[in-house]
Amino acid sequence: MEFALSEDQRMLQDSLKGVLSEAAHLDRIRKIAAGETGEAAALDAALIEFGLSALMVPEAAGGLGLGALDACLVQEALGYDVAPSRFLATAVAAKVFAGKPETLGAIAGGEAKFALALTELCSRRDGAGAELKGGKLSGKSLLAQSVDGATHILLADTAGTLHSVAAGKAKITVMQTIDRTRIFHELAFDGAEPLVSVTPDAETLAFARLLVAADTLGAAQAMIDKAVAYSRERQQFGRVIGSFQAVKHMCAEMAAKLEPARALIWHAAHALDIGDAEGPMMATLAKAHLSEVGTFVARTATEVHGGMGFTDLVGLHYWYKRIGVNRQLLGSPEQARETAAQLQGLVV
Amino acid sequence: MKLTLDPQYEAFRAEVSDTLAKNAHLAPTSEDKGYKNARRIAWQKLLIANGLAARTIPREYGGYGAEPDILKSRIIAEEFARSAIPGPMAGQGISMLVPTLLELGTQAQKQAYIRPTIEGEMIWCQGYSEPGAGSDLAAVRTSAVEDGDHYVINGSKIWTSTAKQADMIFCLVRTDPAAKKHEGITYITFPMTTPGIEVRPLVDMTGSANFNEVFFTDVRVPRSGVIFAPNKGWHVANATLTHERGMLGDPNATKARLLELITLMKAETVNGQRLMDNPVLRDRLMKLQGEVYAMQANGLRITTSRLQGQPAGLAGLVVKLQGCDLNHEIARLAIDALGELGILYEEGEHLRADGNWQWRYMYDLGLIIGGGTAQIQKNIIAERGLDMPREPKLAKA
């Protein structure tokens, strides 16, 4: 028995962190948030150079064939540096189109860059939802991710079927959120013909949700690290504030909640990797759990920074907003918990 | 990542399961109450002989004498849980004193105490906390003054479980009042039958006396009862406290409670609706399930660290704080789910689960406080786990 990361997994995460410390430093994140597209492109190029596109594509289709746990480690590193990335969309697309070698090859080769439009798989608003009629898709999808620069869109229709659609077929409108580093869009289709269509299993949404949870894990870990570092430097009343029990206990509570949550991400990802029947339920539970723990950490770490945490100067708000957006994405914690209850037969 | 076991361990599991099934008819039942019950002692001896209790304790001291193997210990615990056959005896003598003796005791002490303790013939209690020494355990004031080859002990202890039943006590006493706080303490063992010892039950909020106060008035005990060396008691006690903290917050016990709660919420109905069909209660249940799964996975991480001989770090430091709190929250939800009937206690026609949820909601609060309070745990997590600065010492007035 061994419940730990392998040497390869640690190396994967460490080397990505190394790339991100250069490619996603805070100055660049600020510029991306200010709308400097050149900076976003430079980060994107660094991540493509690192090989993120091919990571999740099976080896037979020209990829590296990594699993859900590896994907979580990548997403965690991206969250740690609040780096916007297409990785989540790419990883989900590679899983959805596992039986379509041509699509997989295009993902691995970088020719197919997917945006993710799965919101309606969880929450369909009045007036939203793309309907398939006579082989053509019409209607809207809200809060699509990674649309800028995408060649394809992974779209969930109103029946829950997933389609690959050429990105040019969508009329796009920016949806401004609290997170300016990741741009979300409304997509409108009017008779778009899907390129490939797949009926998803429970695992697809669970996997996407698990990646969002892993992103929150990384962002929350960064916030704890920043809070602890700040508490060792900042002096008040002639002492570093980290020597006050009130501050120490805030940090201890954050770590006490987040450390077991990390193990939950590993366990759920491993369960998906080995095809454990409990996998989708655990992944869904992990999304809800990380949302709660992340929200607690985001608030508490900001408070440890005192007034500075509230300013734009230290930039802590990028992590706060990253966690805040992740909490709602692909279903609120309440929604995820209800799905988890359904997946284990507790809802009759 | 590999959560399956090698074939040799699966074979071991089959062996354990087989031994338990063959001997199940000899196990004590709910009729066999109290310490030193003949059937319970016979069962404990049988378990030791089969390597299912006192497994790694050397044969010369009455144990089974196996090499330490974390996975085998885990398999044994799992098989007892699965079969619902009564497991090995527990208690502070077995879980705390014996490991301490093995590490720091003399040959004579090991020979005198370990065998009767693990066989359940000798019951121990722990004399650590005092009215003035709770979280600040090193502030113990119970004095032991040398008198020839004896010490004369005066003072009192509190939170002493099993003091009424105990044959022996292991105790922290101050032997050098002039030395620094941590350096004048001695760890000593002596019989509870020694004249001058008075035990008074301490009734707690559950309504029972789960603990006692123990008073010492001119209690003369032989100096040969000292473990390791005089004035080195703090070092000895710390060896034992590590064993205690590990016991509180076991995630498998927490998971078992969650399953009980799920069973309750499926079975109980209000206004013709299952509790499970109330979406608010179900949401609260799922919230707790997320935490339980996290603590279970955290436990797997700790086991792996131990197997690899590595310190468990933060994952290990958070168990007592998180685990005890989670148990308390599970009991809270069970009481809320039961609604008005949740307040029933001890007896009566409408009582559910013998009133256990209320009992646990109270007793678990005791565990959040005992064995190192939640606040002390947070200090430890911050200082040892996050490397935050220690509280500055106040200058002496």
Do both A104 and A119 map to the same domain?
no
pLDDT at position A125 = 96
pLDDT at position B34 = 86
Q: What is the mean pLDDT of residues A22-32?
A: 97
Helices marked H in chain A — which ranges?
A: 7-23, 26-33, 37-50, 68-80, 87-96, 101-109, 119-122, 202-233, 245-273, 279-304, 307-310, 317-328, 333-343
The answer to whether residue A2 is domain-embedded is: no
Does this model's pTM top 0.90? My answer is: yes
Tokens of B208: 């029972």
Token pair 């070698």 is found at A101
Do both A141 and A192 map to the same domain?
yes
Do both A329 and A209 map to the same domain?
yes
pLDDT at position B84 = 86
Q: Which of B15, B78, B213, B244 is catalytic?
A: B244
The larger pLDDT score, comparing residue B175 to residue B74, is at: B175
Interface test with A, best of B293, B295, B333 (most A CBs within 10 A): B293
B198 flagged as catalytic? no
Within 8 A by CB and 6+ apart from B354, the residues are none
Domains of chain B: 7-89 (no CATH), 124-231 (2.40.110.10), 248-385 (1.20.140.10)
Q: Determine the longest span between alpha carbons in chain A, in angstroms.
A: 74
The last residue of one of the domains, among A180, A198, A216, is A198
Do both A32 and A157 map to the same domain?
no
State pLDDT tens for residues B112-162.
999 999 999 999 999 999 999 999 999 999 999 999 999 999 999 999 999
Token pair 């037979």 is found at A60
**Would the pLDDT of B244 be above 60?**
no
CATH number, domain containing residue A220:
1.20.140.10
Cβ contact B321–A256 (<8 Å):
yes
Do both A153 and A180 map to the same domain?
yes
The candidate with the shortest Cα–Cα distance to A39, out of A79, A83, A80, A75, is A83
State pLDDT tens for residues A125-162.
999 999 999 999 999 999 999 999 999 999 999 999 99
Do both A93 and A130 map to the same domain?
no
DSSP string, B125-166: EEE--BTTBSSSGGG---EEEEETTEEEEEEEEES-TTTTT-
Q: What residues 283-312 of chain A have any CB closer than 8 A to a CB of chain B?
A: 285-286, 288-289, 292
Note down the domain range covering A229: 202-343
pLDDT at position B33 = 85
The answer to whether residue A1 is domain-embedded is: no
Share of chain B above pLDDT 70, in %: 97
Identify the band that residue B246 occupies on the pLDDT scale cut at 50, 70 and 90: low
Tokens of B361: 């909601």
How much is the ipTM here?
0.97
**Would the pLDDT of A233 be above 80?**
yes
Give the least confident one: A316-325, B6-15, B246-255.
Answer: B246-255
The last residue of one of the domains, among A109, A126, A159, is A109
**Would the pLDDT of B241 be above 80?**
no
Helices marked H in chain B — which ranges?
A: 7-23, 38-49, 70-83, 92, 98-104, 107-118, 233-247, 251-267, 279-307, 314-317, 319-338, 356-369, 374-380
Q: Report how far residue B32's alpha carbon sits from residue B29's, in angstroms, rounded to the nearest whole number.
A: 5
The answer to whether residue A348 is domain-embedded is: no
**Would the pLDDT of B251 be above 60?**
yes
| DSSP annotation of A154 | E
Identify the band that residue B248 occupies on the pLDDT scale cut at 50, 70 and 90: confident
The answer to whether residue A273 is domain-embedded is: yes
pLDDT at position B81 = 84
Identify the band that residue B65 occupies on the pLDDT scale cut at 50, 70 and 90: very high
**Would the pLDDT of B247 be above 90?**
no
Do both A92 and A121 map to the same domain?
no
Q: What is the mean pLDDT of residues A171-187?
A: 97
Strand (E) or helix (H) holding A163: strand A162-166
* Nearest C-alpha in B relative to A257: B322
Q: Measure CB to CB from residue B291 to each of A267, A273, A289 and give the nearest one.
A: A289
pLDDT at position B249 = 83
The last residue of one of the domains, among A78, A109, A140, is A109
Do both A76 and A179 map to the same domain?
no
Q: How many domains does chain A have?
A: 3
How do strand A184-192 and strand A171-175 relate by DSSP bridges?
A: antiparallel
Do both A142 and A250 map to the same domain?
no
Do both A226 and A191 map to the same domain?
no
Tell me whether A241 touches chain B (CB under 8 Å): no
Cβ contact A263–B301 (<8 Å):
yes
Q: What is the mean pLDDT of residues A99-119?
A: 96
The answer to whether residue A190 is domain-embedded is: yes
pLDDT at position B373 = 94
Tell me whether A282 touches chain B (CB under 8 Å): yes
Do both A299 and A232 map to the same domain?
yes
